[in-house]
Amino acid sequence: MTDALALNVTHWAARALEDYSRRAAGHDLKTACSELLTCLVTASNASRGSILISDAETGRLCLVSAQGLPEKMTLDALESHPRSISQWVLRERRGVVIDGALGSTRFETGTPDDQIQSALSVPLMTASGPIGVVNLTRLAPSADFDAADLLGLEQLIGPASAAIERLQDEQFANESWCQMVAGGAGSRSALVPYGVTEILNYQLGFAHRLSRRVGGDLCDRVTHADGTHTLLFADIAGVGSEAEAAAAFVQGLFVGIASPERSATGMVARINAEYVPRAGVRPPASLWVAQLSSNGQIACCGAGTRPALWVPAHDGDILELGGGGASVGAGLGVAYEEHSIRMLPGDLIVMLSDGFLNSRNTSGLPFAGDVAMEVLGPLRREPLDRIVETLCDEAQRHTGRGTPLDDLTVLGLRFARSSGSRQHDRSSV
């Protein structure tokens, strides 16, 4: 290569592909590789070229860009031969120059011998190892590639290799983020799916608005043989995969520990006792656990959560069910308090995640406490799905933002049993 051509490749690799890696939404891996190959083919006076990248799942070399290849050259011929030039270069982590026909005792090739003068193949090397191969070919009559071409291309391809790896990482990160978004706050594996669920004498309403940070909020329940239910509402402090992993761990502990013989405080304490020594880098988790009886009697315990809101069916004051204890993961030996209430038919309990506290308007007023109660009051007799959806909608409207800063998660619990004139029992609130 001439100095001018070398400078051209260096300039492109260091600036254009670097720019693509920063703007992955506008340029995908194939586009970046196509641009790179165009530059390399032109700068090296090659007749044809190809870029193959190792598939992250299978390890197989896959063609992502090609120029000048004849139609009779199949993708399988380029990708699959275990003794192909590309496979050898990837395995040995060094380039090779072959003059004349490509067939040799070292290599198998599916490439037809159509007056190939010289071929050059170099690995795309990064700090973590080879991620692919660049192949360049000159047809006769033309000059052969030499050792200087090989060394020059290996040196020049470094910045492009690093940028391609970053594009791969960004693509994988985006796929992982989409998978977390599709998880819907863990509802795929929980017995409290989105919307309204009918269980014996109760309705459960679950709604969720996902933030871009993707939290690990979770609702789940365990149904027991005696007709009772144990209910979980979890709000994980972290975001992304860290929060998802912590939520899955809490969910597993809850499902394994839930029992009609255990008190709500006993279950929270047991979850905390199992969580703390295995916490590692896991974030704290705020939990609300409730034991539901068939007659509307509820025993509940909060661990670092916002107070549950008790909404009477017949225009009584909305009450906050007091604290319970520190978040799970805060340390061993935490004391937890339990609250016991009796619900009448139509009474409602609402749990709101910390995302509502973080939903502040321009004056800094959070959508929590009095604001949430003002919204809940006129809704108390509405269908449960409308109540939980409206709370999410109003929280977003309160901030004026299209996407919440933190996940908005609502759990509504309504006692639906028809009964006589049982009186409210709020003595324990």
CA distance 426 to 341: 6
User: The domain that contains 403 carries what CATH number?
Assistant: 3.60.40.10
Name the band, by pLDDT with cuts 50, 70 and 90, for residue 4.
Answer: very low
Structure-model confidence comparison of residues 383 and 9, the more confident one: 383
Structure-model confidence comparison of residues 123 and 44, the more confident one: 123
Name the band, by pLDDT with cuts 50, 70 and 90, for residue 352.
Answer: very high
CB 325 within 8 A of CB 336: yes
Kindly report each contact of residues 168-172 with a partner whose C-beta sits within 8 Å and lies 24 or more positions away, as own/partner: 168/29, 168/53, 168/56, 168/131, 170/21, 170/24, 171/24, 171/28, 171/29, 172/56
Determine, yes or no, domain membership for 159: yes
Determine, yes or no, domain membership for 80: yes
**Cα-based angle 201, 207, 212 (whole degrees, multiple of 5):** 155
Q: Is the model's pLDDT at 126 over the cut of 80?
A: yes
Q: What share of the chain is helix, strand, coil (3-state, %, to 5)?
A: 35, 25, 40
pLDDT tens digits, one per residue of 84-103: 888 899 999 999 998 865 54
CA distance 92 to 86: 10
Name the band, by pLDDT with cuts 50, 70 and 90, for residue 379.
Answer: very high
The answer for residues whose C-beta is within 8 angstroms of residue 23's C-beta and 6 or more apart is none
Number of structural domains in the chain:
2
Length of the chain: 429
Structure-model confidence comparison of residues 414 and 279, the more confident one: 414
Q: Do both 364 and 307 map to the same domain?
A: yes
Mean pLDDT value across the chain: 82
**Site of tokens 């390890």:** 59
Name the band, by pLDDT with cuts 50, 70 and 90, for residue 156.
Answer: confident
User: The domain that contains 100 carries what CATH number?
Assistant: 3.30.450.40
Q: Do both 114 and 144 map to the same domain?
A: yes
> For the whole prediction, is pTM greater than 0.95?
no
Q: Which of 179, 203, 229 is the last residue of a domain?
A: 179
Q: What is the pLDDT of residue 26?
A: 46
Mean pLDDT is lowest, of 22-31, 112-121, 325-334, 365-374, for 22-31
Name the band, by pLDDT with cuts 50, 70 and 90, for residue 306.
Answer: confident
Phi, psi of 123 (to 5 degrees): -80, 150
Q: Which of 179, 214, 243 is the last residue of a domain?
A: 179
Q: Which of 118, 150, 179 is the last residue of a domain?
A: 179
Q: Is the model's pLDDT at 426 over the cut of 50?
A: no
Q: What is the pLDDT of residue 260?
A: 94
Determine, yes or no, domain membership for 420: no
Structural domain of residue 175, as residue ranges?
3-179
Q: Is the model's pLDDT at 112 over the cut of 80?
A: no
Closest CA to 208 of 377, 370, 413, 406: 406
Secondary structure element (H or E) that encloses residue 183, with its range: helix 147-183
Provide mean pLDDT across the span 171-199: 75
Q: Do both 100 and 230 map to the same domain?
A: no
How would you write 257-301 as a 3-class SS string? HCCCCCCHHHHHHHHHHHHHHHCCCCCCEEEEEEEECCCCEEEEE
Q: Do both 333 and 284 map to the same domain?
A: yes
Q: Is the model's pLDDT at 174 over the cut of 50?
A: yes
- The greatest distance separating any two alpha carbons of the chain, rounded to the nearest whole angstrom, comes to 101
CB 149 within 8 A of CB 137: no
Name the band, by pLDDT with cuts 50, 70 and 90, for residue 272.
Answer: very high
Q: Is the model's pLDDT at 186 over the cut of 80?
A: no
Q: Is the model's pLDDT at 188 over the cut of 70?
A: no
Residue 321: beta bridge partners?
308
Provide mean pLDDT across the span 50-61: 86
Q: Is the model's pLDDT at 20 over the cut of 50?
A: no
Q: What is the pLDDT of residue 180?
A: 66
Closest CA to 241 of 180, 328, 168, 166: 180
Q: What is the pLDDT of residue 427?
A: 35
Q: Do both 174 and 264 map to the same domain?
A: no
Structure-model confidence comparison of residues 398 and 116, the more confident one: 398
- Name the token pair of 136: 């360049």
Q: Do both 193 and 313 map to the same domain?
A: yes
Q: What is the pLDDT of residue 423?
A: 36
Kindly report each contact of residues 263-266 with a partner whose C-beta sits within 8 Å and lies 24 or more positions away, as own/partner: 263/291, 263/299, 263/301, 263/338, 264/289, 264/290, 264/291, 264/299, 264/300, 264/301, 264/338, 265/301, 265/324, 265/336, 265/337, 265/338
CA distance 51 to 164: 11
Secondary structure element (H or E) that encloses residue 96, with its range: strand 96-99
Q: Do both 117 and 153 map to the same domain?
A: yes
- Other C-beta atoms lying within 10 Å of the C-beta of residue 401: 13
CA distance 266 to 244: 25
Q: For 38-92, give the DSSP string.
A: HHHHHHTT-SEEEEEEE-TTT--EEEEEEES--TTS-HHHHH--TTSHHHHHHHH
Provide mean pLDDT across the span 288-293: 96
Q: Do both 253 and 158 map to the same domain?
A: no
